[in-house]
Amino acid sequence: MTNQPLIISSWPQAIMHIDADAFFASCEQAIHPELKGRPVITGKERGIVAAASYEAKARGVSRGVRLSDVKKLCPDAVILPSDYETYSLFSVRMFEIVRRFSPDVEEYSIDEAFVDLTGLRRTYHGSYEMIAEKMRATIKQELGITVSAGVSLSKVLAKIGSKHRKPDGLTMIPGRDIHLFLGSLPVEKVWGIGPNTASYLNKHGIRTALDFARKDEEFVTKYLSKPYREIWHELNGRSVYPVTTETKSAYQSISKAKTFTPPSDDEAFVFAQLSKNLENACIKARRYHLAANRLIVFLRQQDYRSTGAELKLSRPTAFPSELYTLLREGFRELYLPATPYRQTGVVLSGLVAESSVQYGLFEDTAKIAKMAKVYESIDELSRKYGKHAVQHGASLPTKTQAQHEGERGDVPVRKGDLFKGENKRQRLGLPMLHIKV
């Protein structure tokens, strides 16, 4: 029985998942050909590994490792500052290439996407495998990076496929072969199943993805909540999660955090970093016409110990000026004098639509309306002249030093080589040029 396929029809639909290989490090190797084949690490500005090339991974380097330990594992590693602007440009180009093949593309993250290939075999006069291979080859030829991909009947199966042959691999999982890929896959490795759920499933004798997929519907309905019932369907080749092409516009919370080097025990500077986080979070909330009911603030010390506080607002808002009193209270509760801090952050939670906010009987609605006009003007200036063209006074001390100074804070190439019409604050969203490999 265990050798029987889970589904008879091989391709009732075809969903592809593409996942760029060691994306940040690969981008660096693409724009610096002399780094190809060498162990490349990004994250110099943070003091920990943000990304590692496969050459570095082979030497035992993994994400989150301190750079001081990297030197022991891989003395010849090339350690670079993260250049997120360049990585974003690569991401835009990669998704543009994917959309040449299919209009149904879901940008899942900066380096991942789901693509609906269903019905395209006639258009390209070939198999789904041929379409996927051509897409991967085009990305490699034009951007100089590789992607791994999986093609199957559902998103969950496609994601299993993309992890199966990394790096630079393609795995096809037709309906008749699903059981071959699930039999040796631990259930905790299935997308969407965390350690707690995996432990619960283990108690019911479910160790592998195949064990889970072969459970009957009565068991799944009785013991599992809706998200895990959906995963069960997806593992059985029944597509439940559609490829969503719309840009995300709904958020349950918005978080903004920044690491700065060197660490600082200057109270005004650390609070300024926190204040800037608040401004950034509120900018995003206003962009989507949202307001927050709660504010969470946290500080991280140089030894990585973190403290946080949650503060309830009297009324939902996305205006920093209405939040600074609370922000200062939370900061005073957490801040320890003469203690070096390396990161601050805020979370706006309990988000609601701005249009649904109700004002209290004794609130000055005219003052609130004027404040809304002020922030509309600030947002317009930011669109024209760059983010933080206008800043609150509490955030100004952040300008006394670069976000990352010293040896660990080398300026990425994209920020040093400005094009005509750019300045240090605002750069153009230029597409990447074709890179020959």
**Mean pLDDT across 173-190:** 94
Using pLDDT thresholds of 50, 70 and 90, give the confidence band for residue 1.
very low
Query: For residue 357, is pLDDT > 70?
Result: yes
- As a whole number of angstroms, the distance between CA 118 and CA 110 comes to 24
Query: For residue 117, is pLDDT > 60?
Result: yes
Indicate the range of 9-13, 69-73, 398-402, 423-427 predicted with least confidence: 423-427
- As a whole number of angstroms, the distance between CA 266 and CA 302 comes to 13
Using pLDDT thresholds of 50, 70 and 90, give the confidence band for residue 261.
confident
Q: How high is the pLDDT of residue 45? A: 76
Percent of the chain at pLDDT exceeding 70: 88
Q: How high is the pLDDT of residue 130? A: 97
Query: For residue 2, is pLDDT > 50?
Result: no
**Mean pLDDT across 51-64:** 92
Q: How high is the pLDDT of residue 410? A: 62
Query: Which of the listed ranges 14-23, 38-47, 425-434 does the model predict with the highest average pLDDT?
Result: 14-23
**Mean pLDDT across 267-279:** 94
Between strands 147-152 and 341-349, the pairing is: unpaired
Domain boundaries in the chain? 253-400
**Mean pLDDT across 112-132:** 95
pLDDT in tens, 133-163: 999 999 999 999 999 999 999 999 999 999 9
Q: How high is the pLDDT of residue 89? A: 87
Query: For residue 419, is pLDDT > 70?
Result: no
Query: For residue 204, is pLDDT > 60?
Result: yes
The per-residue pLDDT of the chain, averaged, comes to: 86
Using pLDDT thresholds of 50, 70 and 90, give the confidence band for residue 43.
confident
Indicate the range of 42-51, 176-185, 295-304 predicted with least confidence: 42-51
Q: How high is the pLDDT of residue 365? A: 76
Q: Which of the residues 112, 142, 234, 279 is marked catalytic?
A: 112
Q: How high is the pLDDT of residue 147? A: 97
Using pLDDT thresholds of 50, 70 and 90, give the confidence band for residue 408.
very low
Q: How high is the pLDDT of residue 298? A: 92
Active-site residue flag, 422: no
Kindly report the three-state secondary structure assignment for every residue of the chain: CCCCCCCCCCCCCCEEEEEECCHHHHHHHHHCHHHCCCCEEECCCCCECCEECHHHHCCCCCCCCEHHHHHHHCCCCEEECCCHHHHHHHHHHHHHHHHHHCCCEEEEECCEEEEECCCCHHHHCCCHHHHHHHHHHHHHHHHCCCEEEEEECCHHHHHHHHHHCCCCCEEECCHHHHHHHHCCCEHHHCCCCCHHHHHHHHHCCCCEHHHHHCCCHHHHHHHCCHHHHHHHHHHCCCCCCCCCCCCCCCCCEEEEEEEEEEEECCHHHHHHHHHHHHHHHHHHHHHCCEEEEEEEEEEEECCCCEEEEEEEEEEEECCHHHCHHHHHHHHHHHCCCCCCEEEEEEEEECCEEHHHCCCCCCCCHHHHHHHHHHHHHHHHHHHHHCCCCCCCHHHHHHHHCCCECCHHHCCCHHHHCCCCCCCCCCCCCCCCCCCCC
Query: Which of the listed ranges 97-101, 254-258, 316-320 does the model predict with the highest average pLDDT?
Result: 97-101
Query: For residue 91, is pLDDT > 50?
Result: yes
Using pLDDT thresholds of 50, 70 and 90, give the confidence band for residue 3.
very low
**Mean pLDDT across 264-288:** 92
Query: For residue 317, is pLDDT > 60?
Result: yes
Query: For residue 27, is pLDDT > 70?
Result: yes
Using pLDDT thresholds of 50, 70 and 90, give the confidence band for residue 434.
very low
Domain 253-400 adopts which CATH fold? Dna Ligase; domain 1 (3.30.1490)
Using pLDDT thresholds of 50, 70 and 90, give the confidence band for residue 121.
very high
Using pLDDT thresholds of 50, 70 and 90, give the confidence band for residue 435.
very low
pLDDT in tens, 338-348: 999 999 999 99
Indicate the range of 61-65, 111-115, 216-220, 351-355 predicted with least confidence: 351-355
Indicate the range of 66-75, 275-284, 421-430 predicted with least confidence: 421-430
Between strands 112-116 and 15-20, the pairing is: antiparallel
